[in-house]
Structure 1
Amino acid sequence: MRPIRRLVAAAALAVTLTGALAAIERPQAANAAIGGITWQDEFNAPAGTPVDTSKWAFDIGGSGWGNNEQQYYTSSTSNIVQNGQGQLVITARKENPGNYQCHYGYCQYTSARIRTSGKFTQRYGRFEARIKIPKGQGIWPAFWMLGDGTAGWPTQGEIDIMENIGREPNTVHGTVHGPGYSGAEGIGGGRTIGAPLGDGFHTYSVDWSPNLIQWFLDGSEYFRITPANLGGDRWVFDHPFYMIMNVAVGGYWPGYPDASTVFPQQMLVDYVRVSAYTDGGGGGGTSALRSNFSNRCIDIPAANPVDGARLQMYDCNGTAAQQWTFNADGTLRAMGKCMDPAGAGSADGTPIQLVTCNGNPVQRFTLSAAGDLVNVSANKCVDIKDWNSANGAQLQLWTCGGGSNQKWSRV
């Protein structure tokens, strides 16, 4: 949970919409690499019940939390409690000065921050919450994750699933932080809709796969990042993370409450759910890759693994020419050779071919949770050229657009 300043090219531009999310957004297909629920909290206890401490731990204090935040976090049910209506309520309150000692004197505000560290961590998968966020200048709600381990921040990494600052009531931000891109240099994107997010419940989630993280608002993707977006900095998102939820008051990024800010402010959490990553896109296993568009499989023409063979679509037949293995080095192999963008290209229209595996990072691919077969270096999708559903249709790299001609399943 840090201020974000660096944005990733066009993908990070906020999309302004009026009313419902519009057709310009990417439609979502079957989730090829997301399995069953591994952890959840539905907050269905009777009114007045504290948070479940078998699932959550508290952060306590008023240290400023590295951002000059103004609140003191407590474990009191006046700040965090289940409401008997299937929701967790985190309340930011304005208090009489002198109640709690803070890093700059006495805290004027109290709130709550909970985390699953020591209770639950997971590497990869879907992390999702349905939330009605609070409103107001200086109010800073967040649903985010930190890397588990002893190396400390930012080396362990941070994934911000949802952040909002009160002066931007219609905008959600998603961000990553790591060594060389932390704090104000975090890399992120956002989406702006036509009404304040705090007017109702919205679903905030990330799908996290090897070498790929995707952000969603109400099931619609608005941002994605791969190692190619880090400008040579280290990717630190291949180990378990734990979740955090909080409402901060004030700080360098959101600014501070003013006369327009109404207290108390509440964040209502309907549920938090985590789903497994099924290894559908990385690390072991041999299978065919079938198009959701044509129901045909990625194929080596004539089963001849000559360097430069242009990969095609063909009726699924179970032969070695259609059996692909995702390897630990990120390569995608069949008949002893690697899927490869021709000429190490990254432009739209770059042909997809078969060549001898050579260790070049451009030969790394991952199958995302949404079924996108992504070239990690280019951060582009394997695409059936010209939406051709016939045998012999050729493959190319293309900007990921969510069409069924870019959606794949392992079979």
Structure 2
Amino acid sequence: MLTTRPVPRSLVRAAVALVTLAAALVLPAQAEPASAAIGGITWQDEFNSSAGTPVDQNRWRFDTGGGGWGNNERQYYTNSTSNAVHDGQGNLVITARKENPANYQCHYGRCEYTSARLLTAATFTQAYGRFEARIKIPRGQGIWPAFWMLGNDMGSAGWPAAGEIDIMENIGREPNTVYGTVHGPGYSGGGGITGSRTIGQPLADTFHTYRVDWEPNLIVWYLDGVEYHRVDPARLGGNRWVYDHPFFMILNVAVGGNWPGYPDGSTQFPQQMLVDYVRVSGYVPGGGNPPSGTTRLRGAQSGRCIDIPSANPVDGAKLQIWDCNTSAAQAWTFASDGTVRAMGKCMDPAWAGTANGTEVNLVTCNGNPAQRFTLSGAGDLVNISANRCVDVRDQNPNNGGKLHLWDCLGVSSQKWSRF
């Protein structure tokens, strides 16, 4: 799991105020689209324990320390119930307190504030789905509450290559505005891809729901069920999309930092963030209509179906298109682990390849992430690891046309439907 080693959330975030000034204006509400790709709840904490109960260690662990956390923050994170505890009224309460600085040692001197930072790195990670919390945020100059996520490969890839998804951030000097951001290689810190929504009253006045719906190649942010920001690979200016693997969640209240600035005479302590619940739902490949059993996959160009040649499920069988029929060679199942299966084996890019032209074969299911596919609402059958579409080689519409991976171009040889 992550240790107390500082993890930058938004290095040099002061630049965000300039980059996103226009986005911070009041946005017109958009009707929430159907979220058909979201399945059942996979993880939740309703915080219904009695008053004074510590955080559930089966769900959350603590980051502790006062190293500035990459942003010159002023708080020392503790694991004490004085900073994170159940209130007996169905809430987790994270409290930022002003302290005797002699009690808490920071790397730059003494810490004047304490708070808490909770994370699920050791207890729960998930790729894709809905991540939502109902929160009443704290207020005041220099107060920085957040509900966010980091990639589970932080230990090997580091930040920002592991990826960061900020579901909710607020800075006290902008009490009416919520920010949603992604950080990755080439677009981190002040260059993160950020959106915001500003409402007519301070967010701290009451509870609001903050969420993202995350699927392959798309993340969408909502405030109280209203979409205000979305990011897909086209928004990254050619930089790498790193949101294709499990992430873990973090809840914290920071005090001070490069982006929010620091408490002043107007800031009152203690400040509390109340969290009514955190819920995570699964992602259903194929636009949220999981087949109850098997389905055929018919190509838009040819009208023919993805087929195992001669109904022989040998490892390495080169998948093809063929006249649609009811044989087992065309009976595909979208499994809960993201694989697409027929005759007891998995659709697979040859040798876990990700390049254009990689053959799509049938191979024994082996748990390799390379075997994960998703069928989008637009009919793109996408290999998640490669971020490329299943395509008919040379756009051959005839029986025996072979399948390979190719950049998703929206052409009919890459469009598939279930029936």
TM (normalized to structure 2)? 0.70
1:14 to partner: Cα distance: 3.3
Higher relative contact order (CA 8 A, sep 6+): 1
1:281 to partner: Cα distance: 4.3
Q: Distance in 1 between matches of 2:119 and 2:219?
A: 21
1:360 to partner: Cα distance: 4.0
1:363 counterpart = 2:410 = yes
Picking from 71, 74, 87, the partner of 1:83 is 87
* Superimposed CA distance per residue, residues 51-104 of structure 1 (whole angstroms, 9 cap, x where no aligned partner): 000110100000000000000000111111000000000000001120100121
* Superimposed CA distance per residue, residues 370-404 of structure 1 (whole angstroms, 9 cap, x where no aligned partner): xxxxx9xxxxxx9xxxxxxxxxxxxxxxxxxxxxx
**Cα 1:76–1:33 shift into 2, 3 Å:** same
Q: Distance in 1 between matches of 2:231 and 2:190?
A: 17
Picking from 132, 135, 142, the partner of 1:128 is 132
Q: Give the letter aligned to residue 49 of structure 1.
A: T
Question: 8 Å contact 1:125–1:209 — kept in the other structure?
Answer: yes
Q: Distance in 2 between matches of 1:62 and 1:175?
A: 24
1:186 to partner: Cα distance: 1.1
| 1:11-410 alignment, distance < 5 Å | 13-16=23-26, 24-149=28-153, 150-281=156-287, 326-328=381-383, 329-331=387-389, 359-363=406-410
- Percent of aligned pairs with the same residue? 63
Question: 8 Å contact 1:12–1:188 — kept in the other structure?
Answer: no
1:202 to partner: Cα distance: 0.3
Q: Give the letter aligned to residue 95 of structure 1.
A: E
Q: Distance in 1 between matches of 2:110 and 2:64?
A: 15
* Superimposed CA distance per residue, residues 308-339 of structure 1 (whole angstroms, 9 cap, x where no aligned partner): xxxxxxxxxx999x99561315437699959x
**Cα 1:302–1:52 shift into 2, 3 Å:** closer
Structure 2: unaligned runs, 5 residues or longer:
1-8, 306-324, 331-376, 397-402
Q: Distance in 1 between matches of 2:392 and 2:43?
A: 36
Question: 8 Å contact 1:144–1:158 — kept in the other structure?
Answer: yes
Residues paired across the two proteins, number: 326
1:181 to partner: Cα distance: 1.1
Q: Give the letter aligned to residue 389 of structure 2.
A: T
Q: Distance in 1 between matches of 2:176 and 2:388?
A: 38
Q: Distance in 2 between matches of 1:11 and 1:363?
A: 34
Q: Distance in 1 between matches of 2:149 and 2:22?
A: 20
Paired position in structure 1 for 2:341: none
Q: Distance in 1 between matches of 2:149 and 2:86?
A: 22
Question: 8 Å contact 1:51–1:80 — kept in the other structure?
Answer: yes
Question: 8 Å contact 1:140–1:164 — kept in the other structure?
Answer: yes
